[in-house]
Chain A
Amino acid sequence: MKYKLIGIFFFLILFSLFSQDNREILQQVDSLASYMDHDFAAEYTIIEDKASGERSKTVAAVFRRDSLEKYVIIVLEPDISKGQGYLKVEGTLWFYDPESRRYNYTSSSDRFQNTNARNSDFTRSTLSQDYDVVNRQQVQLGVYPCQLLTLEANNNDVTYPKMKIWVDENYLVRKTEDYSLSGQLLRTTAFPSYQQVQGRYLPRQLLMVDALSRERSQITISRVNFNDLPDSTFSKQFLETVSR
């Protein structure tokens, strides 16, 4: 009995160390992809290769204020969608259409401009808040030795209830796999290269493959800066003004 209790005690200590360790890894990943002390602005270029062989290009300007969970996205290309915008304030994500001059509710889990990217892909990383690590193993991903973490959502608010992420020694995410609630692989994202801007790391390029439709997207992040933005950037007036 005494040995059993000691065994359980050691198991609990090891389990809590394992959990603590995993949470720390996720927190490190989050901290690298979240900019709590500065605003963030960049241009995202999304090249989409459809299963039909068609290729489309979408360019968007992204402005984030992670400390207040606000963001604005303005579509710059293609011409047909130019001026459309997204505004996340006070927990609500609005979509603005300059043609009808109307705002509609949208969701962060919705596709961004009918690409493989989701609206949530443009926000700060909250893996440590939203997911629990259910498994961890050391693996080699190409030239990168990585920790492969298997995650399960601890709330219903995330788009993908299950994920696998490959994190390298510098806590940079190198690959993710997103799964449906039933465990079906939906999307694979690779992060082949990172760029360093004003002392911060962020992906230079992301490659996304929709596992079901086999459509591929390549997202390039450019013109990055971490300078403070005016408060008015995160407002409906700003969207309306720049959309004219």
Chain B
Amino acid sequence: MNLYNKLSLAWSYFVKHIRRFAFLLVALGLGFGVITIMTSLSQGMTKNLYSAALNHYGGELFIIGYDQDHRNRMHMNQIPRIEAILEQWDYPMVQLIPRINYFGDGKLYFAGNSVGQKNVLGINWEDEAFNLNDLNILEGSLEDIREPQSIVISSQTAQQLKCRLGDDIILRVDTLQGQANTGHFIVRAIFKDPGLLGSYKSFIDLGEFQGLLNYGPEDISSLGIRFKKPPEVEELFKLYQILQEALPMAPFMETKEQLTHNIERQSWSGIRYFLIPLSLYVSQVDDLLKSMDILAYFLYLMISLIILVSIAVTYRLVIKDRTHEIGTMRALGMQKKDLTSLLLWESLFLFILSLFLGAVFAGIVLFILSRIPFSTIPGFELFMKKGRLIPQFSFFSSLMNIMLLLIITLPAVYFPARRASVMDLPHSLSGDN
């Protein structure tokens, strides 16, 4: 029997018995749908977390100066030299992002109310469009931020200050030398506080912040770098070695503990430069994600087992119901091999239709989930984009999901099909199992 005949015969049998296959279709479809939902959400959450961290820290790799002559403040002033070193490094970069990160001591005031800011970020509005566009703007717009004295604050800050869009608020900081200074800023936009990485964060223009802190035009806190493909440790170490020849560098660090130790427990005079990859900053959240992954894989395994058992049991029952029909086919001269292959082709149609139904089911569920605001769950904003869960699909993970389902389905189908094909003809014809 040629392939075309086998396929058309298998299709006609599949259509004929589709009511028998209904439960299998639902079980396989649901299984594929649930696995697709889990993997796409997990990937989407990971991507959103990484993107939130990238926006928060301003790059995928940072050169940060810690100035112990000025209260260990994040401060550096060798931008042209570092830029020359980065050219020498010759690794493809997308963008350099100079920033001032005033950490911990900035305070905003309005009409007698005050709110301390964890991070006041001085940024180039143009350079950080990627970051600002990811903010979940609740009021105002980013079109006006290029006006002088603009500030973008979080909803939590606005709520505590009892200020609104267009209000003139005061930012109090200490200059590099430690003198008190204040600046008036107009609230141009209010964004939804993204939890862990965004609580009490505000943005102002880099140049205006330099003036307020008594910084020179080349004084910043950090130089962030964005890449198409972040460098591996070997490449980072190569950059570190070039930097070390030109600047007073802190040791090369690979863990968060080393970073904390070097910043807080070591002493030096003047500015010491730190080379810090984003992965070091997010290592703790990364651990959380890894734990979530382990939980997801466990659920994945459980679902796979349920599908395997459901298919094995249901398919056996389907085959049992068709024993007489299988016997008739054998009596009409169909070979055992051809019969097994016919039953497997039937299962393939079942499998493909299940994938389609599963994909539709996953699509509907993901659409509904992406419309539900989960921002009320504390800290969950970190895994969302603009307050919404965004699923992420990749060719590799979709292929993996299909392969997994195929691996589960094949043995569950093959053995009952094989058994039915090799059964004695008299038994088959009598419908005996």
Contact = CB atoms under 8 A, between A and B. Distances in A.
Partners in one complex: yes
Contacts of B183: 182
A43 to B, nearest CB: 28
Given A51-B114, A213-B113, A181 B172 contact: no
Interface string A169-199: 0000000001011101010000000000000
Given A184-B170, A213-B113, A161 B180 contact: yes
B112 A214 contact: yes
B266 interface: no
B172 A159 contact: no
Interface in A187-244: 212-214
B262 to A, nearest CB: 15
A153 interface: yes
B109 A181 contact: no
Nearest to A114: B116
A181 B178 contact: no
A107 interface: yes
B71 interface: yes
A109 interface: yes
A214 B110 CA distance: 11
B112 A159 contact: no
A105 interface: yes
Interface residues of B, number: 19
A158 interface: yes
Given A51-B113, A51-B114, A212-B114, A156 B182 contact: no
A153 B212 CA distance: 17
A225 to B, nearest CB: 32
Contact of A181 (B112, B113, B170, B214): B214
Given A213-B114, A214-B112, A156 B71 contact: no
Interface string A143-164: 0000000000100111111000
Nearest to B181: A181
Contacts of B170: 184, 212
B179 A161 contact: yes
Contacts of B77: none
A180 B178 contact: no
A212 B170 CA distance: 8
A115 to B, nearest CB: 14
A186 B114 contact: no
Contact of A186 (B71, B177, B178, B180): B180
Nearest to B174: A109
A236 to B, nearest CB: 15
B392 interface: no
Given A160-B180, A181-B175, 14 more contacts: A105-B71, A107-B71, A109-B180, A158-B179, A159-B174, A160-B179, A180-B172, A180-B179, A182-B181, A182-B212, A184-B182, A212-B112, A212-B182, A213-B114
Interface of A: 51, 105, 107, 109, 153, 156-161, 178, 180-182, 184, 186, 212-214
8 contacts: A51-B113, A156-B179, A161-B181, A181-B181, A182-B212, A186-B180, A212-B109, A212-B114
Query: Considering the complex of A and B, which 3 residue pairs feature the smallest CB-CB distances, nearest first?
Result: A156-B177, A184-B182, A212-B109
